[in-house]
Amino acid sequence: QHFASGMDTFTFSDDPSRLPIMFENYYDGDADYANILVLDAFDTPGMDKVEVPYLLQTIVAPHFAIKSFFEAVDVCESYGERAVAVFDQGVAVLVGSNEGQTEGGSEDGVSWFALAKEFCTEFECDDPQNPVVNREMLEMFNSSKEYIRIGNCDGLLQNVDRIEALLLIPIIQGLLYHSDMWRHYPTMGMHHASVQVFAKAVLPLIKLVSKVQAHIIQEVISTPFGEVVDSMKLWTAIGNVLDDGSSRVDIGITCNEIGTSMQLQESFCDFVDKINNTPTVAPVRLSDQTNSPTTTVTMSPTSADRERSINMSLINERYTFTDISKAEQKALIALDVRDILQIERENGDSADAVTLANLVYTEGMNTKPLSLQELGQSGFRQMTQDAFYNFYRQAWRHESIFIDYNDTGMNVVDLYADAVVSAALNLAGDLELAAEAAIALIMPMQIIHLLSVELESCLRGENEHGKLVDDAFAFYLGVKQTKGNSDGYLLYSLAQKAGLALNTLNFSMGGEAEVNIKIIFLFQQAKEQAQSCNIDYVETYDLLRKTVGSIISTMNIPMVQFMEHYLLQIQDNVPGTNAKPENYVELYALAILPQVRVCNPTAYDDLAEYIIGGTVVANEVERVLVLMRNNYDCLGITCRDVHGNNENCRVKSTTLAGFVPEKNVNQNAMIDQDILKITALLNENALRSAYEYYTYGDPGRHRQHGSVRGLAISDLIKMSPFHQDFKQYYGGSDTYADDFITDALSLNPKNSIFKGISADIRSTIVSRTIQTMILLPAALGSMMSAVQACKEEELFDKVVKHWDTAAALLIGSIEGDQRGGDDEGNGLGMFGLAKEVCRDFSSCSTAGIATANEKLLDSLSAGENLISASSGNGIGGDCSTLEVLVTEDIIPILMVPLMQKILDAVYHNESASAFALARAILPIVNKVDSVSATTIDSETPFIGGDSDATSVANAFAGVFDGMGISCNDFGKWKKLDFDFCSFTDSNDDEGTSLSNGLYVTTTDVQEWANIDLDVKDMTEAMNNNNYPMAKDFYLNGFNSHTKDTDGKSIGIKSIGQMSLNVNMIEEPVFNLYRYALGDNKGSFLADDVLYYAHSLVMSFFDKIELSGDSSTLPAEAAVALNIWGNIVHKLYVTVERCDAKSFQGNDNGVQYIDQAVAYWIGSAQSTGDSSKGHLLYRMSEEAGEMFGKGLNGQTRNNRKILQLFTQASRLLSFSNGCKDNASGNFRAIVNKIVAQMTVPLVQHLIHNLEENDLDRIKLYGHAVVPLIAGCRKSSYNY
């Protein structure tokens, strides 16, 4: 742990390319990542003996060493002695003492040095006792020491860089070997566990090199244990990140250094050679069919350009221009595209041709003074408030190809279209590519801009009467275009070519592409709507906006068609011209991917990595196609739009992060995509467009509530159980969230705090507010709508639709369908919020999923099951249970990540985030404790201030009970080492916290809880066949002490005495056992039936002693009979005293309930865990797993029992020991507790009947069947 935590080393640089920093960044900035990984491995039952040693060899030792080596580099010039010492310590840890002093080391080594020898034979190295990687490593060590001595610090740095690479060789060998062994032996846990460790040791580096290959590896290693893994996919991913001599980024080692695999009987280099990494030649381009017009581009157009007009026969009354001559002036831009293509045909791609093409592009020939470049550069001057332009700007700010373009010092993100066309002309010298780039990038954005201005004029009542729609349509058609042909030069022609490539031409319409048929109709519809704006501009604006959205979506279709066309050409290796298909794939990716980024950021990252960050090769095409097709909806298109059928695409999953809704609520889930778009627009300071998306929604989507604002002012918000609290807290407004956001989006806000704020602060405020003050209450409102509909006996479909809508709002579409949601953490709902902070609060599951999300998914499924089970498939059943699920389980667990993120934001001085998030919980906290609310409010100011995170943590901890939040769910806050369960404990000096705060008693019952340790000791003794010791623990006890008032031990409780020395003769349940089990002489197993539990336990001891079996039956019987019976005894003693009102003074009977709870849970139990703990809570968890009754990490039965115990305790406390005539109510609660306690006994009996386990049938039969005797005699007799 000392080395894993990086002791004895100092970091002087935060260079992200250094291995430890790389890992720290990968593991959420936690410098203690190595220590955490090892501690987690220790908690992996059965596999810790595999994982821990490998973690020490692959991460702990190497990373400590590399930290030491880099410190030597950093102090090399100034502190030579320190450099030598710290370098030596790194070598010592990397090699280890067990290697001895002889060359090559010994067979006893256990550090990294030994790892290289372990896999040497598997990869046929030259010397298994002293492999080449170790020899080179020693050479690096020795030369590095010499470099330090002579002060050659640059040489030392080069050596350390090489050492980093050498460290990877045996790790990669181990990953390859164990992954393939897993393929052959899927049920051998050793290989599965080994793969997980070796992958952890390389994934952070591989992800830095290629997120795509890292994703593939992660996908492969996520294969469930016991299933056959696709190891070759992993091998291929590794091959794709090795140094192949090209200029691509790699991990610094070659395939030769990996060696020859004995498993595959071929060298890894041969394996890599099979991976097709060679770009194929281009396909035959779909040539332009136009006859040659003007031959000299510097001349004015001549009569040869006879058709300088829009072809009206193409339109054929499908569209009506207001001013055809004005539109044709726009359409003439098509001839500039034609001239560039003509130059290429006549002059090739020569330098002279490039010069002439540049002249046409920059100055224009046919529409002066307008030019293609003028259009390509107009965005920064004219489109800064246009939504789509800003989506593209936002995307390209993260792509290096647009940053400091051409060493000009100018960020050309604002001029991205011009940058691409100019690069095609001047860098690639490809005129045809440049012309197509102008069509695909410049023209669509011009059309969108003109339509956006028309929309804006409609909204303001400044009617343009559709004149801008005319201009936009002219830019789409161009001149010299005939119907159903590709003889033009703009987007109509492009769509024709794309339709021909993917066979989507409609020959019944003269061979016209389906895209063109649709888009002409849409332009005419837009024209008519624009002309109606002066009649009813509010309604018309909404209709026009949707039509514009449909036009934009339709223009995407040929871009996607061409992208897929060229991808398939690469995959099929079709020979053609000198043009490179990968360039056209990238071009069309540039034309559409920014729209994917504001819809599915993870898919965008993967696609951009494949296409923009690298060059797509044949073996990657299928993955790219699947990714693209899975995200057609991000572009507003369908599989049928692109392919003419649905055969090439999978059906869109309706699953939300692992939750399978009964109804398809994908459209509801897509509300998070609006948030993504609003955030992108605010980051670009495009307030007008952000407000439009907030108010009217995505023009390409049509949902029930239409927009985020529609949701904010809907009745769903008012159905939230906290709506009145928020309304009162925020001045009586029903639309408090909308008021807040609308003001934040205003250019002239009413609230002074929003004046002059930066784009990033405004973006944070708005996005966080939508997340927590709109989506969260709307989801809760939808859940309560389901409860109300259930109570009103509405149809099943209506009730479950409410429920599933709530799930959609909480999870969102960005999370995808896999359990746990999006791997990259891009989700924007409450589900995504939980993932942001779970690591900092130790509240992630072993699978890396936020515990809050695991419980939410379980509760959502439980709610759907409750709805489905109510009165068959019609509603009218136990609706109160559904309501309890919402109020007592789901709401508290949703509050956890909200509180956690507020604390995280306060700690990191993220004041805008803390401020916005706190507004979403202050009314709820205020209802529980106004002092805590005031503290939180004062520590979360809008701008700046020195906030005290500890004060906020204390304020939240103080309202846990009132809000129904378990400290165990909240976790321990690593940043301040703040344990919320300890806080809870410290607020009750006398009580006992059971199961880390799951239940906190009023009185001290630790000694009662310790009885579970006797069960544990019994079990261990029997496992070792030490039956006398096991009996001694049972009969005489050891761990549970009886103490006097001074806390001095005066005796020991035992499980055996619970049956032998407790008087239960007047208790009803006990007498059922006497009646059922006793013979006519009152005997049972040759002893008095009063001791039936003890007699059964001893009979099981006799059986295992006789057989020599190490069975734990006596311990199980002791729990199911003795302890179960003693809990019932304590409850009925309390009932008797309650009836008699015999409690005196401070004795109100609560201590008996506390003792009963202690016997139910025990001292060693973990919440919801059937593997930890020894008493009835654990037994109930185990039974729940058998019967699928888990809920929020613990069984429904345990949840109900603990709720009932709480009710019993509170009743005794409030009635002062039943003095207020509460005995009838108390007895009713006790009867419910006893009934619930029976559930796990019945479940175990059924399970063992199915398993035909005769001994356990006997055990649980004796525990259950007597209870039937007082209910139905015939059933009991049977």
pLDDT tens across 827-878, in order? 999 999 999 988 888 778 766 688 899 999 999 998 988 888 764 444 445 6
Which pLDDT score, from 0 to 100, does residue 287 have? 37
Report helix, strand or coil for 266: strand
Which pLDDT score, from 0 to 100, does residue 781 have? 96
Cis peptide before 1266 (omega within 30 of 0): no
Compute the C-alpha angle 222/224/225, nearest 5°.
120
Residue with tokens 């009132």: 962
What is the band of 307 on the pLDDT scale with cuts at 50, 70, 90?
low
Which pLDDT score, from 0 to 100, does residue 243 have? 87
Mean pLDDT for 602-609 is: 93
β pairing state of 978-979 and 972-973: antiparallel
What would the pLDDT profile of 214-245 be if each residue is shown by its tens digit?
A: 888 988 999 988 888 989 989 999 998 998 88
Q: Are 815 and 832 in contact (CB under 8 A)?
A: yes
Q: Are 631 and 600 in contact (CB under 8 A)?
A: yes
What is the band of 291 on the pLDDT scale with cuts at 50, 70, 90?
very low
Residue with tokens 């009885």: 1011
The answer on pLDDT for 638 being more than 90 is: yes
Which pLDDT score, from 0 to 100, does residue 284 have? 34
Mean pLDDT for 610-636 is: 91
Which pLDDT score, from 0 to 100, does residue 988 have? 42
**Token digits for 306?**
């006879």
Which phi-psi region, left, alpha or beta, contains residue 210 (left: φ > 0; alpha: ψ -120 to 50)?
A: beta
Which pLDDT score, from 0 to 100, does residue 410 have? 54
The answer on pLDDT for 1195 being more than 90 is: no
How many angstroms separate the CA atoms of 635 and 654, rounded?
Answer: 18
The answer on pLDDT for 364 being more than 80 is: yes
**Token digits for 437?**
């780039």
What is the band of 286 on the pLDDT scale with cuts at 50, 70, 90?
very low
What is the band of 411 on the pLDDT scale with cuts at 50, 70, 90?
low
The answer on pLDDT for 1003 being more than 50 is: yes
Burial group, residue 506, by CB count within 10 angstroms (0-12, 13-18, 19+) = middle
What is the band of 6 on the pLDDT scale with cuts at 50, 70, 90?
low
What would the pLDDT profile of 1102-1125 be if each residue is shown by its tens digit?
A: 999 888 887 889 999 999 999 999
Tell me, what DSSP letter sits at residue 635?
A: G
The more confidently predicted of residues 297 and 585 is 585
What would the pLDDT profile of 1115-1154 be if each residue is shown by its tens digit?
A: 999 999 999 999 999 999 898 888 888 887 677 888 899 9
Reduce the secondary structure of 76-129 to three states and give it as a string. CCCCHHHHHHHHHHHHHHHHCHHHCCCCCCCCCCCCHHHHHHHCCHHHCCCCCC
Compute φ and ψ for 979, nearest 5 degrees: -100, 110
Which pLDDT score, from 0 to 100, does residue 652 have? 86
The answer on pLDDT for 1058 being more than 70 is: yes
Which pLDDT score, from 0 to 100, does residue 1189 have? 56
Q: Whole-model pTM above 0.85?
A: no
Which pLDDT score, from 0 to 100, does residue 1092 have? 93
What is the band of 578 on the pLDDT scale with cuts at 50, 70, 90?
very low
Rg of the chain over CA atoms, in angstroms? 36
The answer on pLDDT for 285 being more than 80 is: no
Which pLDDT score, from 0 to 100, does residue 198 have? 95
Q: Are 767 and 828 in contact (CB under 8 A)?
A: yes
For the chain, the distance separating the N- and C-terminal CA atoms, rounded to the nearest angstrom, is 61
Which pLDDT score, from 0 to 100, does residue 1153 have? 92
What would the pLDDT profile of 1156-1187 be if each residue is shown by its tens digit?
A: 999 999 988 887 777 788 999 999 989 888 88
The one-letter code for the residue type at 358 is N
What does each C-alpha distance from 1024 to 284, 1104, 1105 come to in angstroms? 77, 12, 12
Bridge partners, residue 1042, by sequence: 1051
How many angstroms separate the CA atoms of 797 and 940, rounded?
Answer: 43
Mean pLDDT for 145-159 is: 92
Which pLDDT score, from 0 to 100, does residue 537 have? 60
Which phi-psi region, left, alpha or beta, contains residue 995 (left: φ > 0; alpha: ψ -120 to 50)?
A: left
- The DSSP H or E segment spanning 683 is helix 671-683
Which pLDDT score, from 0 to 100, does residue 550 have? 95
**Token digits for 693?**
């998306």
**How many residues can be counted in the chain?**
1278
Which pLDDT score, from 0 to 100, does residue 1109 have? 80
What is the band of 989 on the pLDDT scale with cuts at 50, 70, 90?
very low
pLDDT above 90 covers what percent of the chain?
53
Residue with tokens 């889930």: 669
Tell me, what DSSP letter sits at residue 229?
A: P
What would the pLDDT profile of 70-116 be if each residue is shown by its tens digit?
A: 989 988 888 888 889 999 999 999 999 988 888 989 888 889 999 98
The answer on pLDDT for 381 being more than 80 is: yes
**Token digits for 1027?**
């039956």
Reduce the secondary structure of 737-778 to three states and give it as a string. HHHHHHHHCCCCCCCHHHCCCCHHHHHHHHHHHHHHHHHHHH
Which pLDDT score, from 0 to 100, does residue 705 have? 57
The answer on pLDDT for 278 being more than 50 is: no
Of 161, 169, 157, nearest to 242 (Cα)? Answer: 169
Task: Write b or e for each residue in 540-572: b if 16 or more Cβ atoms lie within 10 A of its Cβ, otherwise e.
Answer: bbbbbbbbbbbbbbbbbbbbbbbbbbbbbbbbe
402-411, 698-707, 862-871, 918-927: range with lowest mean pLDDT: 402-411
Q: Are 267 and 257 in contact (CB under 8 A)?
A: no
What is the band of 918 on the pLDDT scale with cuts at 50, 70, 90?
very high
What would the pLDDT profile of 527-554 be if each residue is shown by its tens digit?
A: 999 988 866 666 788 899 999 999 999 9
How many angstroms separate the CA atoms of 972 and 840, rounded?
Answer: 8
What does each C-alpha distance from 929 to 559, 934, 935, 959 come to in angstroms? 58, 9, 10, 7
What is the band of 1221 on the pLDDT scale with cuts at 50, 70, 90?
low
What is the band of 815 on the pLDDT scale with cuts at 50, 70, 90?
very high
Q: Are 947 and 914 in contact (CB under 8 A)?
A: yes
What would the pLDDT profile of 40-72 be if each residue is shown by its tens digit?
A: 888 877 777 888 999 999 999 999 999 999 989
Range ranked top by mean pLDDT from 16-20, 272-276, 294-298, 476-480: 476-480
Which pLDDT score, from 0 to 100, does residue 1096 have? 95
- Quick one: how many helices (H) and strands (E) in the chain? 67, 14
